[in-house]
């Protein structure tokens, strides 16, 4: 009898061990899987915080996040436009493969996101703030607090309701953290509206002053421009306050140690020659990761990363296998060894955003190669920047012929077909090296890299150009834009109508 019990015990133990070892890869172990929080600023330049060396902007909480974690100095986005950048992040695909490459085009329901992969594995997934991804994928989250694209809480019918909160889009961040379940890990997509335009007065108690503004050389130094930047700085500080509240709430709930926070922006500052361009002012992003359980404080990583790398990395950290169709690379090993390299270049793209464009870029640590496929079109800024005090000041100075060469970049037509910059010696990308014989080999190499990426990812020119939504001279809206994505028949009709009015 005793021998039978021993045999039975051995069999049961074997079954138990086998069961544990064969646990599904989709089941998340709560004690090892980190909570993950992605914080996305809206239109914030990479270097507009103290963490990246700005001496005047008031960002104590973002700066603290960097001191307690890892700052990435070579981080880039796949697009310089709001919704294409976000849809790329959430799918792990380049914008041209998301079916949502143009501004405001929603993700289609056939597109898989990393969020439902986390959700299926046991994560509680939730969103709060600016959505801008379309209605089809809201069910990928357990909870969504959508404030639209302008800081307004949406009514059930999808129309704008009375504004709630302060317009930052961040008012539900802390309440959402309080809702997180205690028995499973969570993923939170926290998306601000700050520092997106329009700007208003009195949003922070200690606003910036004109003397705090540091202007890149492609802006004229006028009072109107400085005032515009002050508004922008103030919204960054309001965002910074909410970042501090998130960190504080995690501490109150004893969640700090095994919670990973990644802070980024969706594209560069909403000013001419930044947002909607492929210069670093449009595609380089702040990228700060805090995870006390794994990351050493005051760490700095100088390796190249792209926002397309976020999806595979989050799944890897959750103990899941990244999907084969991901176009990004897992950067998780950089969190413990920042001197590693995962890529030698990044690829970025610019599509329609209020105005038509089709531009591509390859960026290495040292060089940026840009190809303008529609060189006949000027580098017109986005509609909100077009109506800004900055652009009005630039238009006035242009009439007086008082803009320098760099400040005239938004007005030039035709543009150079190819642009090449040494981003170390020329960080503002003002000296185009593409026609200089001594850079021929570098130009050929980057051309080849771009061609390979375009071929591999099936990136090709669209059959039709999308008409501008606004006039490039007056800024007035026209009637040609169709949302969401028009059919080929509709696009043909739009083109015909557009030419009739010329």
- Residue-wise pLDDT tens digits, 318-330: 999 998 889 999 9
Domains annotated on the chain, with CATH: 35-340 (3.40.720.10), 350-475 (3.30.1120)
Provide the pLDDT for residue 19: 44
pLDDT band at residue 426 under the 50/70/90 scheme: very high
Q: Which range (154-163, 420-429, 476-485) has the least confidence?
A: 154-163
Of 408, 406, 360, nearest in space to 380 by CA: 408
Query: For residue 148, is pLDDT > 60?
Result: yes
Count other Cβ atoms within 10 Å, centred on residue 168. 23
**What is the overall mean pLDDT for the chain?**
90
Q: Tell me the per-residue pLDDT of 297-308, one tens digit each, with 9 for 90 and over.
A: 999 999 999 999
Q: Give the pLDDT of residue 164.
A: 64
**Residue 496: predicted pLDDT:** 63
Q: Which residues contact 230 (CB under 8 A, 6 or more apart)?
A: 207, 208, 209, 210, 212, 213
What is the sign of the dihedral through the CA atoms of 482, 485, 487 and 488? Answer: positive
64 cis-preceded (ω within 30 degrees of 0): no
DSSP 361: E
- Which pTM does this prediction carry? 0.90
Residues 462, 86, 259: CA angle, nearest 5 degrees: 155
Q: Give the E-state strand segments of 322-386 in sequence order.
A: 346-350, 359-363, 367-372
pLDDT band at 161 (very low <50, low <70, confident <90, very high): very low
Arithmetic mean of pLDDT, 336-354:
97
What gap in Å lies between CA 253 and CA 105, rounded to an integer?
A: 38
Q: Are strands 186-191 and 124-129 parallel, antiparallel or unpaired?
A: parallel
Distance CA 392, CA 438 (A): 39
Q: Which tokens in the block code for residue 68?
A: 């307690």
What pLDDT is attached to residue 397? 98
Is residue 278 within 8 A of residue 383, CB to CB? The reply is: no
Q: Is the distance from CB of 105 to CB of 83 less than 8 angstroms?
A: yes
pLDDT digits (tens, 9 = 90+) for 443-485: 999 999 999 999 999 999 998 899 999 999 999 988 766 666 6
**Distance between CA atoms of residues 85 and 402, nearest Å:** 35
Half-sphere exposure of 372 (CA within 13 A, CB side): 22
E-strand stretches of 169-316: 186-191, 259-265, 288-290, 299-301, 305-306
Give yes or no for residue 39 having a pLDDT over 90: yes
Give the CA diameter of the chain.
Answer: 104
Residue 65 contacts residue 263 (beta carbons within 8 Å): yes
**Structure confidence by residue, pLDDT tens digits, 394-407:** 999 999 999 999 99
Sheet holding 359-363, edge to edge: 346-350, 359-363, 367-372, 418-422
Q: Judge whether 166 and 160 are in contact, CB under 8 Å.
A: no
pLDDT of 196 above 80: yes
Q: Cβ distance 285 to 41 under 8 Å? A: no
Integer Cα distance of 283 and 239 in angstroms: 20
Q: DSSP 3-state assignment of 56?
A: coil
Q: How far apart are CA 374 and CA 416, in angstroms?
A: 10
Query: Do the Cβ atoms of 58 and 237 come closer than 8 Å?
Result: yes
How many Cβ atoms sit within 10 Å of the Cβ of residue 113? 21
């Amino acid at each position: 009898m005793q021998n039978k019990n021993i045999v039975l015990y051995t069999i049961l133990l074997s079954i138990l061990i086998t069961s544990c070892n064969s646990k599904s890869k989709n089941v998340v172990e709560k004690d090892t899987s980190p909570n993950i929080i992605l914080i996305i600023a809206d239109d914030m330049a990479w270097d507009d915080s103290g963490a990246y060396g700005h001496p005047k902007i008031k960002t104590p909480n973002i700066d603290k996040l960097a001191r307690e974690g890892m700052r990435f100095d070579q981080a880039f986005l796949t697009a310089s436009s709001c919704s294409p950048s976000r849809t790329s992040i959430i799918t792990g695909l380049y914008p041209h493969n998301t079916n949502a490459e143009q501004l405001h085009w929603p993700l289609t329901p056939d597109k898989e996101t990393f969020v439902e992969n986390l959700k299926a594995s046991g994560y509680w997934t939730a969103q709060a703030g600016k959505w801008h991804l379309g209605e089809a994928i809201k069910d990928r989250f357990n909870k969504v607090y959508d404030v639209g694209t302008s800081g307004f809480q949406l009514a059930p019918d999808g129309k704008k309701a009375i504004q709630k909160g302060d317009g930052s889009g961040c008012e539900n961040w802390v309440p959402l953290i309080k809702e997180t379940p205690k028995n499973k890990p969570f993923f939170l997509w926290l998306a601000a509206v700050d520092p997106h335009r329009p700007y208003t007065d009195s949003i922070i108690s200690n606003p910036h002053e004109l003397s705090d503004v540091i202007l890149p050389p492609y802006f004229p130094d006028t009072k109107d421009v400085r005032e515009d930047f002050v508004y922008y700085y103030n919204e960054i500080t309001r965002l910074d306050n909410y970042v501090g509240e998130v960190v504080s709430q995690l501490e109150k709930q004893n969640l700090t140690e095994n919670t990973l926070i990644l802070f980024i922006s969706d594209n560069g500052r909403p000013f001419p020659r930044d947002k909607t361009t492929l210069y670093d002012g449009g595609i380089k992003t702040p990228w700060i990761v805090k995870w006390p359980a794994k990351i050493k404080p005051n760490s700095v990583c100088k390796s190249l990363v792209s926002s397309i790398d976020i999806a595979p990395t989050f799944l890897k950290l959750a103990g899941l296998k990244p999907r084969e169709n991901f176009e990004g690379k897992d950067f998780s090993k950089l969190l413990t060894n920042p001197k590693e390299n995962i890529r030698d270049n990044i690829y970025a793209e610019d599509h329609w955003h209020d105005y038509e464009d089709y531009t591509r870029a390859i960026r290495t640590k040292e060089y940026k190669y840009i190809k303008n496929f529609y060189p006949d079109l000027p580098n017109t800024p986005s509609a909100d920047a077009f109506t800004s005090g900055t652009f009005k000041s630039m238009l006035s100075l242009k009439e007086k012929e008082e803009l320098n060469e760099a400040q005239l970049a938004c007005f030039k037509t035709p543009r150079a077909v190819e642009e090449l910059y040494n981003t170390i010696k020329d960080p503002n990308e003002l000296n185009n090296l593409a026609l200089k014989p001594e850079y021929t080999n570098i130009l050929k190499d980057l051309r080849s890299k771009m061609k390979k990426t375009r071929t591999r990812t099936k990136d090709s020119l669209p059959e039709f150009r999308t008409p501008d939504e606004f006039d490039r001279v007056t800024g007035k809206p026209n009637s040609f834009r169709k949302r969401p994505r028009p059919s080929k028949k509709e696009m043909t009709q739009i083109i015909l109508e557009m030419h009739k009015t010329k």
